[in-house]
């Protein structure tokens, strides 16, 4: 990942500016209002000078009332301009934020599993929410502050040179000191804000992780441990935040001091020129008003500096994610997988995660279409990894994975994954209703198809018993459902997808016996007529599979039917005997009988 403290490059600024394109109309109006507001702000000191120098000495009451009316009109116009900038300007920023967030979310959908293996959910959410808020503030206020500041500085200096050019030069002599101070302090303030961003993402991730696992926390009575961990993270966040405020306070107080010095220069220098008779008291009053108008841009630029550091640190983190290329992408000449039969072949496949040891080492096997194949073996043997290579969640390092004779790397990801359904032990359900979760298998399905899928998954009757039927809210990640209900809901989702290839990854190992019977019945119905890979811990559930493959960290060690493998007296025999000693004591029975075994 790129360094979060990298400089703001032209390429980064070009990407940032590109988000103004969809809102260029409202941006142009906002800049016009900023120009008009700044220009009108320069009128008040000139009108004041006119009143003090001409209108009052001449006793021209009519002109006084006319100028007062003009000032009232100017203030009303400035109020309307300010309203537009504050309202529509923020709307512009929100629209830009929405476009940026959509781009980020779309890109996240494309990133491979490895990115999510390496990054915590809380940090990703921080980039989606907290970082982009500051980007919005920069997008809105940044151009406004710069534009208004330039107009006020140029306009004020032009008028001041006409009043007393020597005093104006004296004031401008102080400006380099202001610029030097702002430049030197900005870097430290920026580094502090980057550190705050990192700690914010970390504490968000820790909160999300702890709250998501609150049931585990409380079941292990680890509340104190979690509080201690949070205290450490919160303390680091506090330290980083305090450091950023110290840097910001140094910046702000220093700018305030230099501003007061500038005001003192005006009073002392103006008094001296009045003493020499080269300047009137009215000119000094006017001069002092314009000095305020000069120092306002300085204050605006101070605010802009802070916004720039915060906003660009967030945008840099956004850009880092956008610059990450998905590891799994369609090949330039990829073609669609059509008329899927479901045959699967692994040819001399080797795979490892990162720089770890090989999980699969030169594994070869063939699964004919429509057959049910079970993968068994000790943990860490690569069973789940093998199944994740088929839909290209990861790419092999060596060898080939083929579906219907096509190398999966030559197929489009969408067509390949459309042909594969999965039911896992750790079912993920989306926060929402039962209907919405079943529909995830096919978002275009009709209500009748949803109901039919639920019936095939043996969960329709349960759904009807719920208060709102298919529209029953199931809570975050399905927290209101039991394990078996979650499993059958995921099976209904797979029924609705109706894939020719099915992967069952430990789909019943965490269930009680009675619930397992119901789920296995649904799985049996789901696997009928499909190529099915079953990863099983309980060997009783796969005894009648067409073929059983024993996979260890050394590769495929045994392969054949239950009878063949059991007769060999090898690894499978030992695993089976060890389990059935427990099974016989518990009274469990075979419940999973795939299609081929029944024929």
pTM comes to 0.68
Tokens of 5: 């403290």
H-only helix segments in 324-412: 383-389
Q: Of 191, 157, 173, 184, whose CA–CA distance to 254 is shortest? A: 184
pLDDT of residue 471: 92
Please tell me the distance from the alpha carbon of residue 24 to that of residue 12, in angstroms, as a whole number. Answer: 19
Query: Could you give the angle at the alpha carbon of 309 between the alpha carbons of 304 and 314, nearest 5°?
Result: 120
Closest by Cα among 336, 360, 328, 358 to 346: 360
Asked if residues 329 and 209 have their Cβ atoms less than 8 Å apart, the reply is: no
Chain centre to alpha carbon of residue 582: 46
CATH assignment, 344-419+499-598: 3.40.50.300
What does the pLDDT profile of the chain (599 residues) look like in tens digits?
Answer: 444 445 778 888 888 889 999 999 999 999 999 899 888 888 888 887 788 778 877 888 888 899 889 889 998 999 999 999 889 888 898 899 889 888 988 888 888 878 887 777 767 777 777 778 888 888 888 888 888 888 888 888 888 888 888 888 887 787 777 777 776 776 677 678 778 877 877 787 778 777 777 867 777 777 888 888 888 888 888 888 888 888 888 877 887 787 778 778 888 888 888 888 888 888 888 777 777 777 777 667 767 877 787 788 888 888 888 888 888 888 899 999 999 899 999 999 999 887 777 888 888 999 999 898 989 888 778 888 899 999 998 899 899 999 999 999 999 999 999 999 888 877 888 888 999 999 988 888 999 999 998 988 888 989 999 889 999 998 877 888 888 888 888 888 888 888 999 888 876 655 666 666 777 777 777 788 889 898 877 777 787 788 999 888 788 888 888 888 888 888 888 888 887 665 454 544 443 333 333 33
Q: Residue 401, Cβ neighbours under 10 Å: how many? A: 21
CA atoms within 13 A on the CB side of 411: 24
Whats the size of the chain, residue-wise?
599
Residue 41 host element (H or E): helix 24-41
Residue 520 near residue 593 (C-beta atoms within 8 A): no
Tell me what pLDDT residue 477 has.
Answer: 77
Is 346 strand, coil or helix? strand
Q: CB atoms < 10 A from the CB of 331, how many?
A: 12
pLDDT of residue 81: 92
pLDDT for residue 416:
92
* Res 382: pLDDT: 86
CATH 3.40.50.300 residue ranges for the chain: 344-419+499-598
Task: Note the pLDDT of residue 588.
Answer: 47
Whole-number pLDDT of residue 348: 92
Residue 403 CA to residue 367 CA, distance in Å, equals 10
Q: Please tell me the predicted confidence (pLDDT) of residue 544.
A: 76
Distance CA 67, CA 62 (A): 9
User: 376 pairs with which residues across the strands?
Assistant: 550
What local confidence, expressed as pLDDT, does residue 507 receive? Answer: 66
| CATH 1.20.1560.10 segments of the chain | 10-199+249-323
Query: In terms of C-beta density within 10 A (0-12 exposed, 13-18 middle, 19 or more buried), how is residue 409 classed?
Result: middle
What six digits make up the tokens of 149?
């500041």
The DSSP line for 72-130 is HHHHHHHHHHHHHHHHHHHHHHHHHHHHHHHHHHHHHHHS-HHHHHHS-HHHHHHHHTH
* Best CA proximity match to 297, nearest among 41, 33, 574: 41
pLDDT at 205: 74
Assign domain 10-199+249-323 to its CATH architecture.
Answer: Up-down Bundle (1.20)
Q: Strand, coil or helix: what is 375?
A: strand
């Amino acid at each position: 990942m790129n360094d979060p403290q990298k400089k703001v490059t032209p390429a980064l600024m070009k990407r940032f500016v590109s988000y103004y394109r969809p809102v260029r109309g409202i941006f142009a109006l906002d800049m016009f209002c900023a120009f008009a507001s700044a220009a009108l702000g320069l009128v008040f000191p000139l009108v004041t000078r006119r009143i003090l120098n001409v209108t009052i000495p001449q006793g021209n009451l009519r002109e006084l009332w006319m100028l007062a009316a003009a000032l009232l009109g100017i203030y009303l116009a400035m109020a309307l301009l300010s309203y537009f900038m504050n309202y529509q300007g923020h709307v512009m920023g929100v629209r830009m934020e929405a476009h940026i967030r959509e781009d980020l979310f779309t890109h996240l959908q494309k990133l491979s599993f490895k990115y999510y293996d390496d990054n915590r959910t809380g940090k990703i959410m921080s980039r989606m929410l907290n970082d982009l808020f500051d980007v919005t503030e920069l997008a809105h206020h940044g151009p406004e502050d710069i534009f208004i500041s330039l107009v006020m500085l140029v306009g004020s200096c032009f008028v001041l040179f006409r009043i007393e050019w020597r005093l104006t030069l004296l004031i401008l002599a102080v400006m380099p000191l202001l610029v030097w101070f702002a430049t030197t302090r900005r870097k430290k303030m920026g580094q502090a804000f980057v550190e705050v961003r990192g700690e914010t993402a970390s504490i968000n991730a820790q909160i999300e992780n702890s709250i998501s696992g609150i049931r585990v926390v409380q079941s292990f009575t680890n509340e104190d441990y979690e509080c201690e961990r949070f205290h450490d993270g919160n303390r680091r966040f506090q330290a980083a935040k305090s450091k950023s405020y110290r840097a910001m306070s140094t910046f702000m107080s220093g700018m305030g001091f230099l501003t007061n010095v500038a005001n003192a220069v005006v009073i002392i220098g103006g008094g001296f020129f009045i003493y020499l008779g080269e300047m009137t008291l009215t000119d000094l009053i006017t001069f002092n008003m314009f000095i305020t108008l000069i120092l306002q841009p300085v204050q605006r630029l101070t605010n802009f500096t802070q916004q720039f550091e915060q906003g660009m640190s967030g945008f840099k983190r956004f850009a880092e994610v956008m610059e990450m290329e998905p590891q799994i992408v369609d090949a330039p000449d990829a073609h669609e997988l059509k008329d899927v039969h479901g045959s699967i072949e692994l040819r001399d496949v080797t795979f490892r995660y990162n720089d770890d040891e090989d999980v699969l080492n030169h594994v070869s096997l063939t699964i004919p279409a429509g057959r049910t194949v079970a993968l068994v073996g000790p943990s860490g043997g690569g069973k789940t990894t093998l199944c994740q290579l088929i839909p290209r969640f990861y790419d092999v390092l060596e060898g080939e994975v083929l579906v219907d004779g096509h190398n999966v790397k030559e197929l489009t990801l969408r067509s390949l994954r459309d042909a594969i359904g999965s039911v896992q032990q750790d079912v993920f359900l989306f926060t929402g209703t039962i209907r919405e979760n079943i529909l995830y298998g096919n978002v275009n399905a009709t209500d009748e198809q949803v109901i039919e899928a639920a019936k095939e998954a043996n969960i329709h009757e349960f759904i009807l018993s719920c208060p709102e039927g298919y529209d029953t809210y199931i809570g975050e990640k399905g927290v209101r459902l039991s394990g078996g209900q979650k499993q059958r809901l995921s099976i209904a989702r797979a029924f609705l997808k109706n894939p020719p290839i099915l992967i069952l990854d430990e789909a019943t190992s965490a269930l009680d016996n009675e619930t397992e019977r119901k789920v296995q019945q649904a799985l049996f119905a789901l696997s009928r007529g499909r190529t099915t890979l079953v990863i099983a811990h309980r060997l009783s559930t796969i005894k009648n599979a067409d073929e059983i493959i024993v996979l260890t960290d050394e590769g495929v060690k045994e392969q054949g039917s239950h009878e063949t493998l059991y007769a060999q007296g090898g690894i499978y025999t030992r695993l089976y005997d060890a389990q059935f000693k427990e099974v016989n004591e518990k009274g469990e029975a075979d419940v999973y009988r795939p299609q081929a075994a029944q024929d």
